[in-house]
A and B are shown apart, each in its own frame.
Chain A
Amino acid sequence: MAKVELERLTKVYPGGVRAVDSLDVTIKDGEFFALLGPSGCGKTTLLRTIAGLETATEGTIRIADRDVTKVSAGDRDIGMVFQDYALYPHMTVEENVAYPLKVRKVSKDDRREKAAEAAGSLDMRELLERRPGQLSGGQQQRVALARSIAQEPGVFLLDEPLSNLDARLRLESRTFLKRLQKELGITTIYVTHDQAEALALADRIAVMEAGQIRQIDAPAEVYNRPSSLFVASFIGSVPMNLLDGVVEDGRVRVGSAALPLPDDASEHVSSGDEVVVSVRPEHTTVSETEEDESIGGQVAVTELLGTQYLVTVEAEDISAQGVTRHPPEIGAQAWVTPEPEQLLIYRRADGGLVGTPVIEDAKSEKETASAAS
């Protein structure tokens, strides 16, 4: 049972920077848990604190019901894969994989056996005698994984293990990693700044900003119902539409358009409230004839995304995007109609989803959101 529990975990650097700000999280046994956020949000610091490479300023860390807050990194029963893989250039692959076992004074024969086993599970047996310098990026990454696997730890900690691979390899490794984790069933904490990666791999995602967790949810939830503007602007390969609006008579006025107010939002807002309306371009339709409850304007840009086109429509000072298979001409009039069930309403003041508690550090939310959009 290697679940990981963090209680009021805080890490403050000299100079007062709160890299990790009083976090309470429970990561379930066998779960693939992603820490996602922009650079500087504290996700790597959090991972390193769990690993024991940084000492927590306050709070506790429990791994498998054991308080490891004061325990040294080598005794926490964790395996860690670093962004640059940290393969020792002067050792062969076998020696690299077996090194943690050597440190634990496992006998030479047992070491070789376990290393071969770990290598075998990653299809790497023929590489055992090579040196890291002779391996490709993908192979190096698997050696780093094998080294952690050979330890048979309770928890895997992975620090952006795919970011040094080129794009195609990254996608293949992603699938490989997910399958591997399901087979081994080891609790995994995974740091990344790539939201597509987190969505694809994780059982749950924790979106972080400035040392705090803004949302913990399953990927689908984070994607479909981001709890704040910050999360909304961070998640999704195509940016969400974020449009300033004002609540008016049971609807939301955005520019000259009037969009419907979702049911679960209507009880939390009143006429005159300043809000931000949000909808994903994939959850809209684009038509060249006028529609109700849609945003109209002139087509400014069309971009091919693969199967569909991303169409940018501009009117007054509003810019909305929708997707369609059959894009209109540049300069033509078009209307972007959001699917009413997919509309999300956020408070303009603190960026939080209406109906959810007010977020502290609200200023950072708004700034991040407007900077990102």
Chain B
Amino acid sequence: MTAEPEAAEREATDEESATGGANVLGNKGAAAFVAPAAGLIGLFLVFPALWTLYLALTNMRLTGLAAAEPQFVGLENFLNAVSEGEFLNSLYVTLIFVLGSAVIGQAFLGFTLAWILRDWRGWQRQAFEVLAIVAWIIPASVVAFLWIALLDGDSGTLNTLSPVNVDWLLEYPLLSIIFFNTWRGTAFSMLLFSAALNSMPPSHLETARLAGASFWQQLRDVILPSIRGHILTTLLLISLWTFNLFTPYLITAGGPGSQTETLPIYIYNVALSNGRLGFGAAISAIMLVINLIIAWIYLRVVGKQDA
């Protein structure tokens, strides 16, 4: 008679103290605590972001008349962007890059590693994790050079080790940076998925196994649904990060030609090299919109799960 009411009782206590925390800090205290971070974010994050949106509507340039007296041009920049071949190419390159290195590369490899290593303990697991995480921690400039060294057409490690001699950065540039980014970011997905798999109650899997489910059935019916939220969050974060990543510039500078000119690199070239600040800002605004769409899709999918 006492067992069931206990569980419900604790819930009631939690409910009743839902506002208790507020009483500890107080609304004024909370405002004071939030203020410093809010100030920094507001001034150095939100403000520049909004300014970008404003700039996108002008014809501002780095030099010349338009630099001193930029004029409001409405949606002209956007229309130009959409019809400009380089922009569309850049968009295409970026999408391939995100799909290849983030969705397929990092998430898939990260999950596979998390799954394989889930039962490992001790030094083997540690060694693996450290390896993956160090790949993530080494500064970008160094990693960029490491991959240049690896892929160099004449004396790169890959070519010295393998019988064929391929100038990777010249012949397969997009593939190269996809591999680079997969290598770079898998650790993050691996860590998150490890935590997710750990939090899964073992009884779910055991029930499936006892019912005779094969490994793939277990994966599809028990594991993936139960960590669905984690999958989506991870995918969202790494997609956005990859979408906005500037590091490939350090390896290929967008080349050869514009074969690896992702949107961030395109903006850099357009704004700083070509001096078209207003136009560059418009591309940034389009990027922001695409990011919002991705996030919105994600929130809808997650929202459906909770409902």
Contacts and interface: CB of A to CB of B under 8 A. Distances in A.
Q: Do A and B bind each other?
A: yes
Interface of A: 13, 19, 38-40, 44-45, 48, 53-55, 83, 159-160, 163, 193-194, 237
Given A39-B12, A44-B12, A159-B13, A13 B2 contact: no
B5 A48 contact: no
A160 B10 CA distance: 10
Contact of A45 (B8, B10, B16): B16
Interface string B1-14: 11001101111110
Contacts of A159: 13
Given A53-B17, A83-B13, A39 B5 contact: yes
B20 A40 contact: no
Interface of B: 1-2, 5-6, 8-13, 16-17, 19-20, 23-24
Contacts of A53: 17, 20, 23-24
Given A193-B2, A194-B2, A237-B1, A48 B20 contact: yes
A54 B5 contact: no
Chain B facing A: main interface SS: helix
Contact of A39 (B8, B17, B23): B8
Q: Which of B11, B23, B24 has the most CB of A within 10 A?
A: B23
A229 B8 CA distance: 22
A159 B17 CA distance: 12
A194 B13 CA distance: 15
Contacts of B5: 38-39, 193
Nearest to B6: A163
A19 B15 CA distance: 11
24 contacts: A39-B5, A39-B8, A39-B11, A40-B8, A40-B12, A44-B12, A44-B17, A45-B16, A48-B16, A48-B20, A53-B20, A54-B16, A54-B19, A54-B20, A83-B10, A83-B13, A160-B9, A160-B13, A163-B6, A163-B9, A193-B2, A193-B5, A193-B6, A237-B1
A45 B20 CA distance: 10
B210 to A, nearest CB: 30
Contacts of A45: 16
Contacts of A163: 6, 9-10
Contacts of A237: 1
A163 B7 CA distance: 10
Q: Which of A38, A39, A83, A194 has the most CB of B within 10 A?
A: A39
Contacts of A39: 5, 8-9, 11-12
A193 B23 contact: no
A44 B13 contact: yes
Contacts of B13: 44, 83, 159-160
A48 B2 contact: no
A160 B6 CA distance: 10
A194 B1 CA distance: 9
Nearest to B9: A39
B16 A44 contact: yes
B19 A13 contact: yes
B20 A193 contact: no
B6 A19 contact: no
Contacts of A38: 5, 9
Given A39-B9, A55-B23, A193-B5, 8 more contacts: A13-B19, A38-B5, A39-B11, A39-B12, A44-B13, A54-B19, A83-B10, A159-B13
A255 B133 CA distance: 77
A54 B8 contact: no
A18 B5 CA distance: 21
Q: Please name the 4 residue pairs, one residue from A and one from B, whose CB atoms are nearest each other, closest first.
A: A39-B9, A39-B12, A39-B8, A40-B12
Contacts of A40: 8, 12
